[in-house]
Amino acid sequence: KAGVTQTPRYLIKTRGQQVTLSCSPISGHRSVSWYQQTPGQGLQFLFEYFSETQRNKGNFPGRFSGRQFSNSRSEMNVSTLELGDSALYLCASSGASYGYTFGSGTRLTVV
Amino acid sequence: DQQVKQNSPSLSVQEGRISILNCDYTNSMFDYFLWYKKYPAEGPTFLISISSIKDKNEDGRFTVFLNKSAKHLSLHIVPSQPGDSAVYFCAAKDDSNYQLIWGAGTKLIIKP
């Protein structure tokens, strides 16, 4: 079965702009989590959605937001981009078990 | 406050030898632990997991040990192979919420 698909793979934006990233989970998975990875910081949890509802949220400013659609696809939006937002953004989907399957990520560069 | 700590940012091991990656946690409510492996420009992939009711889980060359009293788990890779060179993340989950808590990762380098 198809894995977790994240689009786009690479993105370059200017400070102050906004960006929307997309994640399509594994078919049948209802949970989608978003993470930010920066060098030396590991995986920082952004938020998790389950059945279109935000179930958990990490410690990121309100500029970071997300949503989940009825088909479980999720989008993450970052407004008023800052240089420090440059990172690899990873999406993971989860089914009934504890296992998370990650996508390949979106590499965002803010210039 | 980091609830899951991987205190070694990097580890270098000779090919064929044992690699031991360590992870400490502070929250006694964690009941499930996972190890993920990550190559550059790719998402992490699941490697092995262990429930808090066990103290050992083995899968081929990979074994995870859990010491609940010490709040410590370790991943053993025997024998280490060049393809094992990657960043390894330890993650923990507690039953009270749906969030995985991640360590900062350990970069494993296998030397020929």
A15 min Cα distance to partner chain B (Å): 23
- Give the CA dihedral B101, B76, B83, A42, nearest 10 degrees: 20
The chain A residue lying nearest B32, using CA atoms, is A98
For residues B73 and A82, give the distance between their C-alpha atoms in angstroms, rounded to a whole number. Answer: 37
Inspect the interface and report whether the beta carbons of A40 and B46 lie closer than 8 Å.
no
Which residues, including other chains, have CB under 8 Å from residue A86's CB and lie 6 or more apart?
A38, A108, A109, A110
Q: What is the pLDDT of residues B11-38, one digit of tens each?
A: 999 999 999 999 999 998 898 999 999 9
pLDDT tens string for chain A (111 positions)? 579 999 999 999 999 999 999 999 999 899 999 999 987 677 888 999 999 999 888 889 999 999 999 999 999 999 999 999 999 999 999 886 667 899 999 999 999
The backbone region for A110, taken as left when phi is positive above 0, alpha when psi lies in -120 to 50, beta otherwise, is: beta
Query: ω into residue A8 within 30 of 0, thus cis?
Result: yes
B90 touches chain A (CB under 8 A): no
Compute the distance between CA of residue A30 and CA of residue A68 in angstroms, rounded to an integer. 9
